[in-house]
A and B are shown apart, each in its own frame.
Chain A
Amino acid sequence: MVGVVGIAFPKFRLVSTLGAYQDLAKDGLWETTMTTKRMGLSGKPETAAEMAARFDDLHPPYNEMMAMTESNRCLYCYDAPCTTACPTSIDIPAFIRKISTGNPNGAAKTILEENILGGTCARVCPTETLCEQACVCNELEGGPVPIGRLQRYAVDHFMEADKPHPFGRKPSSGKTVAVVGAGPAGLACAHRLAMLGHDAVVFEAKAKAGGLNEYGLAAYKMTNDFAQKEVDFLLEIGGITIQYEQRLGDNLLLADLSRDYDAVFIGIGLGDVNDLGLEGEDKDGIHSAIDFIEEIRQAPDKRDVAVGDNVIVIGGGNTAIDAAVQAKRLGAGEVTLVYRRGAEQMGATDFEQDLAKLNDVIVRYWSMPSGIKGNGKVESMVFEKAELDGGKLMGTGETYEVKADMVLKAVGQKLLPSGLDGIELNRGKLVLDEKFQTTMGGVFAGGDAVASGEDLTVQAVEDGKQAAHAIDQYLSGM
């Protein structure tokens, strides 16, 4: 694990010996220092432009020269480990080679045929723990090929070129599938069903499609309304309609869908958040990090988003980092990220953890929330120091207090089971057979809501795609 000092002075690391440089590349710090810079985050920006600059692309898109340089570093491996590491099995050497030959549209098709949301995945995938971790160039000087950014270059090039949709549809099967949830799993499923000749009606609880792509990711990862552009692109294939503000268990019933459609796919994600389990959790100023991120994403002018002066974010995943970094960028005076275990146990990738530090987020490890203080409105939180005792996390009895006028909870999400009566759950998630079918016949599922879910956009896309093939088989047997 990288120490705080190394991150505070990344340039010293860069000019050190080759060995240290290679370590840097492996740690992902090279990427950090090369693509993000410490922002002078002091106070709230005055103008909309200044605020917008704080939420601009975390990784600026490659221009042609950068794409050529980086794509030519790819060794074009055979049976490439990056492809094996990709949950959607994109033929990465093939698409990178196409970029290097001046064929970015061909590259985009190679990406999109395995991952129709390849544009989002290029932006938000934790590539340093997936394809780029597997890249054989980790063993060579220069570190891994920046696969994510090259993927973005190709897909953006294609989408901006205003080309006809790259995929056609098989002859119509006459079948229609209900897809619940227009997040990555549902959209990927609907698109693949359309390719296979089926129609899809997508029911979305919110006012926009995209799921977490639209509502749940840091704004600097999904700039320029990309989530909606991607949905529009995906719908170009035809045969897919989306009905908005249709919430399962509310104005949408599974029984009706099962009756009215030839099959059902559930890709509703995790609609509920975990509580801290503390008294006073309903005090003013205490919010779910998910809601906070959603508010930022939906605000055209980020200056309209209320942020505290002393913000505490509780949790250790990428959502916690997204909330903490964005709170700081909105102009919070002090943002403290508190996690009950150590840096190595954090769900957030090394890159995300470094990003928090580069944005002046204070990170406190081994601390469990133990109390909320304040009269109606939160004023501070008390944490108890924790340690591992025989593998079990135990409080030490030592406590400390952190001042707060805003607390953002990011301690995990859970399935909202409403409307799922009659389907078996295990540990709060949908149980599937090997053909993506729930315990209710003709009802399939995928994404974060299912037991195997990995809380990764790219895994949700793969689930949706594979479930579509399973549904296709199911429909052909009808």
Chain B
Amino acid sequence: MADLKCTIAGIESINPFWLASAPPTDKKYNVVRAFEAGWGGVVWKTLGIDPPVINVSSRYGVHHDHKRRVMGINNIELITDRPLEVNLQEIREVREEWPDRVIIGSIMAPVEKHYWQDLARQVADAGVHGLELNLGCPHGMCERGMGSAIGQVPEMVEQVTRWVKEAVDIPVFTKLTPNITNILWSAEAAYKGGADAVSLINTVNSIISVDLDQMAPTPTVDGVGTHGGYCGSAVKPIALNMVAEIAKSPDTGNMHISGIGGITDWKDAVEFMTLGSNAVQVCTAAMVYGFRIVEDLIDGMSDWMDEKGYTSVAEFTGAAVPQVKDWNELNMNYDIKAVIDPDQCIECGRCHIACEDTSHQAILMKTREDGGKLFEVVDDECVGCNLCLHVCPVEGCISMKEVSAGKPALTWPEHPLNPMKQAAE
């Protein structure tokens, strides 16, 4: 079994799987259950300045797929609603009982130096391995000038990070909100403020559905609703892109990344890490299935590493980053065509109608001698878009074959039809 130990922001963890700051890490009872299940660390649910907040009922809305599996959860819950000292005492206890596991304290405060520094010192004194600055919550707390209200202003991100770094000598993770135009602005601000790592993404601002009887956004609270934070597998693509942008940016140094956003299985975790995450955080999948999913995260990643010959997670961390390019760097001479395997085809016609109605009319539907259907690719019309492959219900029935072997690479800036190139010549 491969070694899953990892180091992020100088903190060593038995595996890269931490629970994100959220309801699953709200109190000792949950955290102990998580450690028993095998999680390497937790980011404790965000601590604030007393008096504690008061939460509403109800709190979650869900986006289901056709089979009623949860694709995403939207929540309107605030930070911990328990007194600070209760949380700190429990943190102290768990730290003592589970010495090999990581506890990060997530904190949130109004934009005033003494609030952030006092809170940071109090939490650090409880023995946490590091602090995570919650600058991301897009609901509730932002209306009080906290959460994403701070995270959306790069100057404030830098300022808050700097205040906390000045106050404590443990690693600081700045947690970023995706509800911005350019993630690099806030990542660079965190870097300038001295952050040891960034955690991203926090939840995406959203209305998850409308209750058509109450005519109100869900989850409804006494007949009305509010926008909430969206998480779960549906946000994974958004998170992967933001992680990759930071990983490949020269302006964020070698700042570590704690990847968050819809990680549900080991493969998701591996993908985040290949795009530059040094460790990952999980929340929604645990909320949907319970802490036991960590078993699959652990042995799935380990087995994959054995197969690929990796002996440590560091060997593949960031491995995909060099291959993340700008569109202008893509080879325009690369050409692929769809190939349909008639032996695997079940004749549903989905590839044909998708191509015929919405793409390039490159798949003909013909009748075989025995009355069955035959789907035939017209290579001259096929642009290699992959749509047929993706809509086909039989994995492996449609593949794409390269037909451009031997042609030199050619990018758009070099392309003879690019008017900007002609102008430059």
**Chain A complexes with chain B:** yes
Spell out A's residues near B (CB within 8 Å): 68-69, 72, 75-81, 100, 136-137, 139-140
B348 proximal to A (CB < 8 A): yes
Binary contact track B339-369/A, C-beta < 8 Å → 1, others 0: 0000000111110110000000000010000
How far, in whole Å, are A78 and B388 apart by their CA atoms in the complex?
Answer: 13
Q: Determine the residue in chain A with the shortest Cβ distance to B352.
A: A78
24 chain-A/chain-B pairs, Cβ below 8 angstroms? A68-B68, A72-B66, A72-B67, A75-B350, A76-B350, A77-B347, A77-B348, A77-B350, A78-B348, A78-B349, A78-B350, A78-B352, A78-B353, A78-B365, A79-B349, A80-B348, A80-B349, A100-B66, A136-B347, A136-B348, A139-B346, A139-B394, A140-B346, A140-B393
Binary contact track B40-74/A, C-beta < 8 Å → 1, others 0: 00000000000000000000000000111000000
**B346 near A136 (CB under 8 angstroms)?**
yes
Q: Main SS of the interface on chain B?
A: loop
Q: How far, in Å, is A135 (CB) from chain B's closest CB?
A: 10
How far, in whole Å, are A75 and B350 apart by their CA atoms in the complex?
Answer: 8
For B348, the chain A residues whose CB sits under 8 A away are 75, 77-78, 80, 136
B 367-389 contacts with A by CB, 8 A? 373
How many residue pairs link A and B with beta carbons under 8 A? The number is 34
B 386-406 contacts with A by CB, 8 A? 393-394
How far, in whole Å, are A269 and B68 apart by their CA atoms in the complex?
Answer: 47
**A79 near B66 (CB under 8 angstroms)?**
no
For B353, the chain A residues whose CB sits under 8 A away are 78
- List the 4 closest A-B pairs by CB distance, nearest first: A78-B349, A78-B353, A139-B346, A136-B346
Q: How far, in Å, is A48 (CB) from chain B's closest CB?
A: 40
Q: How far, in Å, is B141 (CB) from chain A's closest CB?
A: 35
**A140 near B394 (CB under 8 angstroms)?**
yes
For B67, the chain A residues whose CB sits under 8 A away are 69, 72
How far, in whole Å, are A392 and B66 apart by their CA atoms in the complex?
Answer: 54
Question: Which among A69, A78, A80, A136 has the greatest number of chain B C-beta atoms within 10 A?
Answer: A78
For B346, the chain A residues whose CB sits under 8 A away are 136-137, 139-140
**A79 near B393 (CB under 8 angstroms)?**
no
Q: How far, in Å, is A42 (CB) from chain B's closest CB?
A: 42
Q: How far, in Å, is B160 (CB) from chain A's closest CB?
A: 46
How far, in whole Å, are A75 and B68 apart by their CA atoms in the complex?
Answer: 17
Q: Determine the residue in chain A with the shortest Cβ distance to B392.
A: A75
Q: How far, in Å, is B109 (CB) from chain A's closest CB?
A: 45
Q: How far, in Å, is A256 (CB) from chain B's closest CB?
A: 47
Q: How far, in Å, is B205 (CB) from chain A's closest CB?
A: 27
Spell out B's residues near A (CB within 8 Å): 66-68, 346-350, 352-353, 365, 373, 393-394
For B349, the chain A residues whose CB sits under 8 A away are 77-80
Q: How far, in Å, is A436 (CB) from chain B's closest CB?
A: 26
For A136, the chain B residues whose CB sits under 8 A away are 346-348
How far, in whole Å, are A139 and B394 apart by their CA atoms in the complex?
Answer: 10
**B393 near A75 (CB under 8 angstroms)?**
yes
Given contacts A139-B346, A139-B394, 17 further A-B contacts (CB under 8 A): A68-B68, A72-B66, A75-B348, A77-B350, A78-B348, A78-B352, A78-B353, A78-B365, A79-B349, A79-B365, A80-B348, A80-B349, A81-B347, A137-B346, A140-B346, A140-B393, A140-B394
For A72, the chain B residues whose CB sits under 8 A away are 66-67
Q: How far, in Å, is A101 (CB) from chain B's closest CB?
A: 9
For B393, the chain A residues whose CB sits under 8 A away are 75, 140
How far, in whole Å, are A383 and B96 apart by their CA atoms in the complex?
Answer: 88
How far, in whole Å, are A277 and B55 apart by their CA atoms in the complex?
Answer: 85
Q: Determine the residue in chain A with the shortest Cβ distance to B347.
A: A136
How far, in whole Å, are A140 and B396 apart by their CA atoms in the complex?
Answer: 13
Question: Which among B67, B68, B346 has the greatest number of chain A C-beta atoms within 10 A?
Answer: B346
Q: How far, in Å, is B363 (CB) from chain A's closest CB?
A: 11
How far, in whole Å, are A100 and B67 apart by their CA atoms in the complex?
Answer: 10
For A137, the chain B residues whose CB sits under 8 A away are 346
For A79, the chain B residues whose CB sits under 8 A away are 349, 365, 373
Q: Determine the residue in chain B with the shortest Cβ distance to A101.
A: B66
How far, in whole Å, are A77 and B392 apart by their CA atoms in the complex?
Answer: 11
How far, in whole Å, are A79 and B68 apart by their CA atoms in the complex?
Answer: 28
How far, in whole Å, are A69 and B365 apart by their CA atoms in the complex?
Answer: 30
How far, in whole Å, are A29 and B68 apart by their CA atoms in the complex?
Answer: 28
Q: Determine the residue in chain B with the shortest Cβ distance to A68.
A: B68
For A69, the chain B residues whose CB sits under 8 A away are 67
For A80, the chain B residues whose CB sits under 8 A away are 348-349
How far, in whole Å, are A80 and B346 apart by their CA atoms in the complex?
Answer: 11
For B347, the chain A residues whose CB sits under 8 A away are 77, 81, 136
Q: Determine the residue in chain B with the shortest Cβ distance to A134.
A: B347
Q: How far, in Å, is A250 (CB) from chain B's closest CB?
A: 46
For A140, the chain B residues whose CB sits under 8 A away are 346, 393-394
Q: How far, in Å, is B63 (CB) from chain A's closest CB?
A: 15
For A139, the chain B residues whose CB sits under 8 A away are 346, 394
Question: Which among B67, B347, B348, B349 has the greatest number of chain A C-beta atoms within 10 A?
Answer: B348
How far, in whole Å, are A72 and B67 apart by their CA atoms in the complex?
Answer: 7
For A100, the chain B residues whose CB sits under 8 A away are 66
Question: Which among B67, B347, B353 has the greatest number of chain A C-beta atoms within 10 A?
Answer: B347
Q: How far, in Å, is B162 (CB) from chain A's closest CB?
A: 52
Q: How far, in Å, is A71 (CB) from chain B's closest CB?
A: 9
Q: How far, in Å, is B290 (CB) from chain A's closest CB?
A: 23
Q: How far, in Å, is B209 (CB) from chain A's closest CB?
A: 13
How far, in whole Å, are A69 and B69 apart by their CA atoms in the complex?
Answer: 11
Question: Which among B365, B393, B394 has the greatest number of chain A C-beta atoms within 10 A?
Answer: B393
Q: How far, in Å, is A77 (CB) from chain B's closest CB?
A: 4
For B68, the chain A residues whose CB sits under 8 A away are 68
Q: How far, in Å, is B405 (CB) from chain A's closest CB?
A: 33
How far, in whole Å, are A140 and B393 apart by their CA atoms in the complex?
Answer: 9
Q: How far, in Å, is B398 (CB) from chain A's closest CB?
A: 14
How far, in whole Å, are A168 and B346 apart by their CA atoms in the complex?
Answer: 39
Q: How far, in Å, is B346 (CB) from chain A's closest CB?
A: 4
Q: Determine the residue in chain B with the shortest Cβ distance to A80.
A: B349
How far, in whole Å, are A79 and B351 apart by their CA atoms in the complex?
Answer: 12
Q: Determine the residue in chain A with the shortest Cβ distance to B354.
A: A78
How far, in whole Å, are A76 and B347 apart by their CA atoms in the complex?
Answer: 11
For A81, the chain B residues whose CB sits under 8 A away are 347
How far, in whole Å, are A75 and B392 apart by their CA atoms in the complex?
Answer: 9
Q: Determine the residue in chain A with the shortest Cβ distance to B357.
A: A78
Q: Determine the residue in chain B with the shortest Cβ distance to A137.
A: B346
Q: Determine the residue in chain B with the shortest Cβ distance to A100.
A: B66
Q: How far, in Å, is B342 (CB) from chain A's closest CB?
A: 12
How far, in whole Å, are A161 and B394 apart by their CA atoms in the complex?
Answer: 38
Q: Determine the residue in chain A with the shortest Cβ distance to B393.
A: A75
Q: How far, in Å, is B371 (CB) from chain A's closest CB?
A: 9
How far, in whole Å, are A68 and B352 apart by their CA atoms in the complex?
Answer: 26
How far, in whole Å, are A180 and B317 apart by their CA atoms in the complex?
Answer: 80
How far, in whole Å, are A78 and B348 apart by their CA atoms in the complex?
Answer: 6
How far, in whole Å, are A137 and B373 apart by their CA atoms in the complex?
Answer: 15
How far, in whole Å, are A76 and B66 apart by their CA atoms in the complex?
Answer: 13
Q: How far, in Å, is B32 (CB) from chain A's closest CB?
A: 36
Q: How far, in Å, is A219 (CB) from chain B's closest CB?
A: 36
Q: Determine the residue in chain A with the shortest Cβ distance to B394.
A: A140
Q: How far, in Å, is B154 (CB) from chain A's closest CB?
A: 44
Q: How far, in Å, is B343 (CB) from chain A's closest CB?
A: 11
How far, in whole Å, are A301 and B30 apart by their CA atoms in the complex?
Answer: 60
Q: How far, in Å, is B42 (CB) from chain A's closest CB?
A: 36
Q: How far, in Å, is B391 (CB) from chain A's closest CB?
A: 10
Q: How far, in Å, is A84 (CB) from chain B's closest CB?
A: 9
Question: Which among A69, A100, A136, A140 has the greatest number of chain B C-beta atoms within 10 A?
Answer: A136
